[in-house]
Each structure stands twice: as structure tokens, then as C-alpha cells.
A and B are shown apart, each in its own frame.
Chain A
Amino acid sequence: MDSAPSRRSLSTAPGARAAPTPFGGAPRPLHILLVGWEFPPNHTGGLGVHCFELCQELTRLGHRVTFLSPFGGPFTPVPGVTFRHPGEKSGGATPEFPPAYWAGGTPDSPFADSVDGFNTWVSGLKTTDPFDVIHVHDWFGTAGATALARRLHIPLIMTVHSTEYDRSLGHPWDHILHREELGIEAATRVIAVSRHLRQQLIDRYHAEPSKVRVVYNAVRPSDRLERIDPEKRIVLYVGRLAVMKGVDTFLRAAARVVPSFSDVQFVIAGEGPEYERLIQLAARLGIGDRVMFLGKVSEEEREILLAGSSVFVLPSVVEPFGIAALEAMAAGVPTIVSKTSGVAEMSRGTVFKVDFWDVEEFASRISELLEYPTLRATMGDQGRWAALREGWPERARETVQVYLEAMRGAGVRP
């Protein structure tokens, strides 16, 4: 009926970038203490990526960063960033990265012990560095960071990447909730990774609206592979296999799509607690042969997958941001996301938005993209533009602005 070139040129016109200001708008280089959790190469979610990119861009702007992690590394080195962890003196006494950080665990698990140990170490951090701000990410280190900020008389900034309500689908662990509330309360400024999340912090956590800012995630344009149009068309999901991700919906939609398309393959890349249940579901739906479970994939494998995919689906029940969808858009893959995802806010109408429970609608959208090549091509191109028009440099500058606000708010002269 209509035809689109099977190989499309992939030059990405970068948007006009503002002339770089020294220190991202700060009057002098700042020394920033980041209290994090995971960090590449060992990371499972958006938090690790966000911290890594922030470290890179902050130091590029001329700032110094010290990154505190409960784990002994390895850490992907970033010039200008010092990594510190509780086992740095004793050597090797730090715990391994947990296989799944989202599974907060019961208050008496070994995982909880390592969180407590980390907080104690942070609160008593031995340092002579003149830090300007402490910036804590999610709940893990809020107790230690709050105590340290008070001891050093410097402002605390907290970035929330997701909340315990969402991770637990409404059944939060109290000890985690408490740490979130503590950080949000104590922080001079709070950063949310989407407007949707910001509203939740205000409604559920009673955060003072005037102190909550939004800084989105971004993706880094890389030497993307040329898009290929394989014989078998691929509908892709990349992400953790957790209940909140709604991968059920992906499978149920797949079951409605496959009878009309003999050449389509559904692919699930990622690992998580739902893995076995999802495999059973695929079998029960009778689409075992049409769904491929790849397990955890490397960054390179993910890029190859994206380059050959016709459709990317992020059906999350809850998704504070959804960086996987942004990566798909940046790779030129037409993307379908649930309406509640943060990434939907910044997609500028270049993705399909569907209610997370609406299997029928997900199936229709997938079918339409498989059926109409012109739709795939145009949405893919426009999606890439929307994903790449702003990047981590812009996000770092926005973050620096929040630091400066916090310093002024705490009575500290920048």
C-alpha cells in the first residue's frame, strides 16, 4: 500500500544549544557531595545512570564531586570525581551490590543492615573538604545525609527517582517510607524526575510545593547503529521484570496481535522477580513460541536490539520516568508508553500514550505500527528529535540552578 525506505539515514541534527556558561551558571566551582547507591558498571535502574551522567556533566562544568556509595565498586572512573565507600579503610568489607535494589527487603534482612551501616558511616564522614551542598538520591542514604548536612551546616538536596508507594504498588515498607519522608522533609530543595512524580511528592509526602523542582532524565546520543528492518519484525520491551512494570499487559497484548501478523516476534529483555511467572503466562496464552525472554542484556546488546526493533512498549503500571522508553525514542524506535509514565510528559506528542490497564488499546497501537510503515518511520524520526533535543548537559545546568537556590535558601552565599 505505502512504502518506506527500509534503511533510513540516521543523522541527528542536534538542537541549537545555548552557549556554555562557566560552572553552569554558578559564580564559582562548587564541591558537591553526592550520596548515591548504585553506580555503573553495576546498576539496574535509572538512578545509576542519572548519577553517572550527573557526575560527568558537573565535572565538565568545572565542579568537583565526591560520590558516596555503600558498595566497594568497581566504579566507572570519571575525571574529577572521588569515590568513597564504608569499606575504604578496612578494604573489602563492603557488601556486594544486591541483585535487585528495588526489593527493599524486610527491616531485619542483611540488606537493611548494610543500609544502616552506610547511613552511620555517612553521618560521621571524616572529611576536610569544604563541601557546598549534599545531594542525596532516593531513600537509601537520607538519614546519614541529613545528619551530615546538619553537622557541616550546608544545604541538603534530595532527588527522588521513584517512591516506595510505587515500587511496592501501594504496600510500602514503613522503614523505607520513613526514610523517604525524612529526606523530603529535611531537604532544602527536592528534585523529582517528572511532573507526575512531583505531584505525588506533594500529595502523598506533603512536600512543600515551592521547594520541589523537576529535572528530567536524558539520553546521550551515541554512535547509534543504522536502523535495520529485519524480516521478522520485533516488538520490544526492555526493563526490569517487576510487577510495577506491567509486563503482563505486554504479553496479553502480544496474544491479541500475533494471530494477525505471522512475522512478528515479541522480545523481553531484562530480569527480575516476575521472570518465572511471565514465562508461565506466555505459555498459558499460547504464545510461547512468539515471545523471547533474553534475560539481562548488555548495553551493546540493547543497542543492537533497538536498532532492529519495529516497536518499543513500556506498559508500566507505575513509572516515575521510564528512561528505557527515552532510549528507544533516541534510537528511532516508535514507542508506546503508559499514560502515567514520566517520559510521556516530555515526549512532545511523539509517542502513543495508553492507559496501563488497556490491553486492547496496547494491541491496537502495536498492530497499527506494524501495519503502517509510514507511521513507523515518521514517529521514529520525530521521537528521536524529541528525545535528543535536550541532553544531560541541560539537566546538569538545571541541577546546578537548584543547588544555587538551595544555598540561597539555606542562607549560604554561593
Chain B
Amino acid sequence: MDRNLSIFKGIAQRSYRPALERLRRALDDFPDFRFSLSVTGTFVEQARMAAPDVIDRLRDLYRTGRVAFLGETYYHSLAFLLPPPELSEEVAMHREMLAKEFGAHAKALRMTELAYSDHLARFAEAERFRGMLAEGWEGVLHGEPPTYPYCAAPAPTVALLLRHYPLSDDVGFRFSSTGWSEYPLTADKYARWLAATPGEVIGLFMDFETLGEHHQARTGILEFLSALPGEVRRHPHLGWATVEEAMEIPPRAPLSVPYTMSWADQNRDLGAWLGNDLQRSAFEAAKKVGVLARQTGDLAILTDWRRLLTSDHFYYMYVSGHGADQGVHEYFSSYESPYDAYANYMNALTDLRRRALDRLGVPILK
């Protein structure tokens, strides 16, 4: 727990505070600037303990009326792969948190790691969301550009806003990479790229930590952020919109995604979390413990179990050694190896299982 807080404090100092500050000023300086934020319950819990002023800054942004929050699961979890009612409960928890903390109501839904499928579109429809976010991946676009508004084929009232991954990753991944042919990326160059992109809407989604953490302040990322709204204004056909505003543009075509797509790695599937035996075995084991945790009706046990479904736990168990994505995984992992991650996870899960069985009064054989 102490470690969580010290990590959070560090990131708050390097990223959350300075970036939120600059976003606030950009909203003051540019009346047409607008954007959406995605904030989990886990984030708010940790911010409350480590850096409560970050929540105040978010409230302040929301009060401008030009910032919207996205709906998602309360935990950064893989709940979308679990049998009902887990997903709708976690989404409801998040909805409650937004109302309580910010007085906000989310109209657009995004899943952990931008997971999306036809199945999830039906879920969004049932939960009365206006639309969902998804990756603008060629594999599902069949030659169509990612810059048009779409709707979900199985649920046409659900609008789809697609992430433009080349332009998003220019900032998210490549901004500080000196080996990149476009280095350094300036706000005016980036605005020209945006202006030259055909279509109706460009989905730029990235980790908030892009601003000051993945790219540290010395790379100039924060100045880039401050300068961008002004540079965009030079191109009269460009404007800003929150996700839910962009979803009001009439859809051009329905889109079908029969499997679960994500924004991670080269394959844009769930391979980053459930691609190998370690990950699948850990997830299957977690599912079984979930049945017990629910039976206990003990909120502390259920909460710990939900924390164990956080996608990052499975991400740390990624094994490749050969592929291009290994470097990305190692950057984000706090473990020395995927085997450490797995062993540690399974130990925690075994403890939780024991607690659940205890609570249920089942004698433990072992």
C-alpha cells in the first residue's frame, strides 16, 4: 500500500498536476477546446489517499462544462470477460462514483484497454449508453477509414468512435523517440497532420501519463499540450469535441467485431492479458475464486477479488522474449519476470480462496 502511494505521489507530481494545470489554462484561453477524461474508481481511491488535490483539479475541469467523463468499470478490470452480473455491477459502481465525486453522468462507455466486441455493444445498449470507444484497427474496418462515425452492427443505437492509432501513437509512443524520422514533433506540425487527415472525426485517445510520465517534462510534452489548441485553431475546418459530442454525428456505416479487440500490441487482441498458459490458468483460477467470493457476500472479500481482476496483473505475466512487444511489457511491469508475477498472483489468490472458504465455514483440506 505504501508503495502504491509513493508511486502515485511521484506520478501526480510529474504528470497529473502539471498536465491538469495546463489543460485548465488551455480551457481558459481557447473557448472551443473540449475533451473527455477516463477515471477509474481505483484511481480516485488512490488519489484520495496520496494526492487529494488531483481530484479537486478534476472537479474544477468538469465545472467548465467542456470536459466530460467516460463510463467504464470501477476497477481497471477484465470484468467484461466474466459471467454476469459482474460487468454491470462494476459499471454501476463507476456510475455511482462519478455522480458522487463529480456530479457527472457518463454517456459514452469504454472498456479496460479499449476492449470492444459486438457482445459488448449489446451490453452498452442494455446499459443505455449513447456509444462506445474502440480501436480503429484495419482488421475490422475492411478498407473503410477510421475517421468516420460508425455504429455497432448488432446494436445500431450505439455509436462507435474509433481511435486513430497512428496519430494517437505519434504522441503516445513516438513523441520523445529521437530515432523517429519526424522527431521532434511540434504542435504546429501535428496540427497540420490533423488538418490533412480526411474524414469527419479523429479519435485521439492516450494514457493520461503520456503527459509528463511516459514522456517526462524535459521532452517538451507539456509545452506541446499547451500549444496544440492554438495551432489547431489555425485550421478553420478543425474543432474539438468531447467523446459524447462526437457521437452525435450521424453514423456512416455499421461495424461488426465478432471477437474481443483491444488497443494493445501488434495483434490488437487479448493476447497481452490472456495469451499464454500462465495468464489463462491465473484467470481461470480467479474466476473460480470469484464464485466463492460472491457466495460469502462479504464485501471485503469481494473487493479484494475485484482488485485481483485488474488487467495489469495478467499483463505482467506476458511471456515472449522474442517479440517486439516484450519491451513495452517490461516497461510497465514491476516484476523481474512473468514467473514472479504469476507466482505472486497465485499466492494472493490462494490466500483469498482460503479466506472465502473460512468465511463459508468449509473445512480446508489442502
Contact = CB atoms under 8 A, between A and B. Distances in A.
Given A2-B285, A4-B277, A374-B278, A379 B339 contact: yes
B277 A371 contact: no
Nearest to B347: A368
Interface in A1-18: 1-2, 4
Contacts, number: 57
A378 B346 contact: no
B215 to A, nearest CB: 26
A385 B321 CA distance: 10
B284 interface: yes
A365 B343 contact: yes
Given A1-B288, A374-B281, A377-B277, A348 B321 contact: yes
Contacts of A2: 281, 284-285
Contacts of A368: 343, 346-347
Contacts of A365: 343
A375 B321 contact: no
Nearest to B337: A349
A23 interface: no
A56 interface: no
Contacts of B343: 364-365, 368-369, 372, 375
A217 interface: no
Contacts of B350: 371
Interface in A104-139: none
Residues of B contacting A: mostly: helix
A189 interface: no
Contacts of B347: 364, 368
B82 to A, nearest CB: 17
Interface residues of B, number: 20
A112 B232 CA distance: 83
Nearest to A352: B339
Nearest to B288: A1
Interface string A363-405: 0110011011011011100100110000000000000000000
Contacts of B276: 378
B2 interface: no
B277 A386 contact: no
A350 B276 CA distance: 15
Contacts of B281: 1-2, 372, 374
A50 interface: no
B238 to A, nearest CB: 46
B321 A382 contact: yes
A240 interface: no
A382 B340 CA distance: 14
A372 B345 CA distance: 11
A198 interface: no
B138 interface: no
Contacts of B121: none
B319 A352 contact: no
Contacts of A85: none
Contacts of B285: 1-2
Nearest to A372: B346
Interface string B315-351: 0000101000000000000001111101100110010
Interface string B275-315: 01110010011001000000000000000000000000000
A375 B336 contact: no
Contacts of A369: 343
Contact of B336 (A260, A349, A371, A379): A349
A378 B339 contact: yes
A334 B321 CA distance: 16
A325 B44 CA distance: 46
Given A352-B340, A353-B336, A382 B319 contact: yes
Given A365-B343, A368-B347, 10 more contacts: A349-B336, A364-B343, A364-B347, A371-B346, A371-B350, A372-B281, A374-B278, A377-B277, A378-B338, A378-B342
